[in-house]
Amino acid sequence: MFKTILFPLDHSREAFETISKAIALAKSHRSQIIILSVIQPDRAEMNTADLVIPLLQNAKEQVEQAGVPCTILEKKGNPAFLICDVADEMEVDVIVMGTKGIKLHEGIESIAARVIQLAPCPVLVVP
């Protein structure tokens, strides 16, 4: 049912807690996982290659150690839009992502909330 799982990754604790859910889902459906890191241009200092590359490699190692095929992608731009664009372009069956909450502050939506609104496929949000 889920041949391809998209796992957006940032440097938050929630993302690394969520990877086990993506792996479990992939193993149960014999899926592959695409790990996506989106660098936001307005937060470039927080998303330098020194931070992003080790995160991607660590996540890839976890997935591959579990016996799940994995690829990594790195993109620049608006996270919610890019997550949905990649999901559409790669014909992803489900997006698995963590969240810190659906609405962080009045008038500001989380990335997860925006992905839910725009995604071309189901989204599994892990609190």
pTM: 0.87
Contact by Cβ (8 Å): 42, 98: no
pLDDT for 53 equals 79
Segment 90-113 shows an average pLDDT of 77
Q: E-strand spans in 1-127?
A: 4-8, 32-39, 70-76, 94-98, 103-105, 108-109, 123-126
- Identify which has the larger pLDDT, 35 or 51: 35
Domains and CATH numbers, the chain: 4-126 (3.40.50.620)
pLDDT for 49 equals 60
Least confident of 74-78, 101-105, 112-116, 120-124: 101-105
